[in-house]
Structure 1
């Protein structure tokens, strides 16, 4: 990952989206991402850096950053975060598809957001629908009875 220096305030990391949008975020917030944490750790200078994210559009990155900030708030209770999460994943009708947020969270290794988005993406879907969503071939997938499908859904909750 190419890193360039930034003129952002100290303690700030600048993220550059695939569509050339720049987002300044606090270093402590960025460290929630294992990918960003590793990139920052590999930076040999004390200068502020710009991290290009060539596979993540600005609208998607903005949603990911919103999640990071909410989950970085020490004064927010776990219950409040859980309630906020439920609203956050309701992106129906949004310009930002939840699946894009899931892919970005996976790339950035933000496990809490991956889990949250994944549960929302697959909720109420059959095995064949899930395979279609993730681009898997379905011809070798066994067809389950309604009872077997329900058992799988219970396990995923």
Structure 2
């Protein structure tokens, strides 16, 4: 069975139902609208470019075992394994990956959301506080005296 999805910018995609159902939101919408599947499912927060990438991800992972519990993704217990395909999939610019994170969150595609967050964490852990503020457009509201005090207080972490 096929499902039709419509991006926020009006582009229509037709995908297999089992692929679409990797999104918790779409799966729930299909249950609610079982009798009326003649029109596309609107995804108001997801543009066509991002939706195409989400569909590509879901197509590849359509046969993966489903994980219903967020606890299974707890990175403190077990890091998320990335296969070669996932590594290639994440070779995109930062803006695209952040848009994919937002799309995965909006559509509730948990494995993609966690993959994107792992990508973001890998980027951020190599950045200085100034670079992180620039990336996320956060104003630096510390006075020079406050910054000096913070630097002095965190000296013990460098031992």
Q: Deviations over 1:82-134 (max 9, x none)?
A: 110011011039xx711001100011111110111111122142484556655
Structure 2 residue matching 1:19: 3-state secondary structure: coil
**CA distance in structure 2 between the aligned counterparts of 1:64 and 1:146, rounded to whole angstroms:** 43
In structure 2, runs of 5+ residues without a counterpart are 65-81
Structure 1 residue matching 2:83: 3-state secondary structure: helix
Cα RMSD of the aligned pairs, angstroms, is 3.1
How much does 1:51 deviate? 0.7
Once the two structures are superposed, the pairs formed by residues 3-42 of structure 1 within 5 Å of their partners are: 11-42=1-32
TM-score computed with the length of structure 2 as normaliser = 0.67
Whose helix fraction is larger, Structure 1's or Structure 2's?
2
Once the two structures are superposed, the pairs formed by residues 1-157 of structure 1 within 5 Å of their partners are: 11-45=1-35, 47-73=37-63, 82-92=83-93, 97-125=96-124, 126=127, 128=129, 129-130=131-132, 133=135, 139=141, 145=154, 148=157
- Rate the CA distance shift 1:147–1:98 in 2: closer, same or farther, 3 A: farther
- Rate the CA distance shift 1:25–1:136 in 2: closer, same or farther, 3 A: farther
Number of residue pairs the alignment of both structures matches: 131
- Rate the CA distance shift 1:123–1:59 in 2: closer, same or farther, 3 A: same
Q: Deviations over 1:25-65 (max 9, x none)?
A: 11111111111111111114064441111221101100000
Higher Rg = 2
Q: Is the 8 A contact 1:105 1:113 kept in 2?
A: yes
